[in-house]
Amino acid sequence: MGSETIPMLPIIDFTNLKSEGNINEWEAVKSQVHKAVVEYGCFEAKFDKIPLDLCKDIFASLQELFDLPLQTKVLNVSKKPYHGYVGQYPIVPLYESIGIDDANVYDKVSELDQIIRKMILESLGVEKYLEEHMNSSKYLLRVMKYKGPQTSETKLGLNSHTDKNIVTILHQNQVEGLEVLTKDGKWISYKPSPNSFVAMIGDSLHAWSNGRLHSPFHRVMMSGNEARYCIGLFSIPKEGYIIKAPMEMVDEEHPQLFKPYDHFDFLNYYYTKEGQADQFALTTFCGVN
C-alpha cells in the first residue's frame, strides 16, 4: 500500500508583505503566486489585515441576513445575472447567494486582489498594462450560504464550474466544502482557517493571459448539520471593455486562443440553457479554432 499524498492548495503568506518597499519579500511572494496560478489557478492566501472580530461580526450578520424571509431576500433584484438574490434551484437546494453591486467593499480585501493582480502582471512581464488592467475592472461582492444537508451523506452545494471574472477572493466560516480540481483531475479539499483567503483565477484572466494562467473547475460539497457562509469578492471586467490578450502573450508557442470579447456578451451566452450546460463555454463562445 503506497502512502498517497493528499493534494493541497499552495499556501502563500502575505502577512510579511508590509509594503512594496521590501523588494525581496515582494519578489519571493510574487514567484510563489506565479507558480500557483500557472499550476493550480488557485491558492490559499494568509492575510492578517482583517481583524478577526470583524470577521466574526460579518458572519453573524450574514446569518441574520439569510434568516430573513424568502419574500424579503428576493427583493434584492438586479438586471445583471448573478447580481441579485439567487437560490431555490432544484439542482443545488442548499445554496443561496446575494450580490451587492458596486459594493463599498472592505478596502483590505480589494487591497489583496490588487496585490495579487499586480504580482501576476509583473510575473508575466506585462506590468506596463497594469493601469489599463486595473481601470477596466470593478468589483462585485457576493455573500453565500450553504445549508448543512442534515444527513450522513455528502451533497452537492454548488456545481462544478470555472469563474468567469478576473480574480475571485473567497473568505468563509469554519465549515468545509470548497473543492478545487487539479489539472490532473484530483479534487483538492480546502481547509479553511480564520486568516485564510482563497484566491482563484477566472476565465477572463485565463483569456487575457492567452491561457498561461489556469482557471480551475471548483465546486462545493456539503456534509453535516452546520451552515457554511462564504463571502466572495469578484473583480470583473467593466461592460464595454474588450478582453484581448496583449501581443506579448501571443507567440508561435502560444497561438491566440480566444477572439477579443466583451465579458457581458459572454455572460449573455453563459446564462442561456446551452451555456449553462457547456463546460467550456468560453471556448464555444470565442475560441479560435
Per the DSSP assignment, residues forming a β-bridge with 181 are 187
The residue to which cell 443561496 is assigned: 96
Residues 157-216 that bind Fe ion (CB under 5 A): 163
Which burial class, exposed, middle or buried, applies to 125 when counting CB atoms under 10 A from its CB (0-12, 13-18, 19+)?
Answer: exposed
Cell 455572460 belongs to which residue? 267
Asked whether position 116 contacts ligand AKG by CB under 6 A, the answer is no
Partner whose footprint covers residue 120, from Fe ion, ligand AKG, none (CB < 5 to 8 Å by kind): none
Grouping H, G, I as helix, E, B as strand and the rest as coil, residue 236 is strand
Closest CA to 83 of 95, 98, 70, 73: 98
- Residue 14 or 234 having the CB closest to ligand AKG: 234
- 230 makes contact, choosing from Fe ion, ligand AKG, none, with CB < 5 to 8 Å by partner type, with ligand AKG
Burial 263-285 (b: 16+ CB within 10 A, else e): beebbebbeeeebeeeeebbeeb
Residue 218 in contact with ligand AKG, rule: CB under 6 A: yes
Shortest distance (Å) from residue 245 CB to ligand AKG:
23
178 touches ligand AKG by CB under 6 A: yes
**Part of the chain binding ligand AKG (CB under 6 A), chosen from 44-52, 102-110, 148-156, 170-178:** 170-178
Give me the residues that bind Fe ion (CB under 5 A), please. 163
What are the residues binding ligand AKG (CB under 6 A)? 144, 158, 163, 170, 172, 178, 218, 220, 230, 232
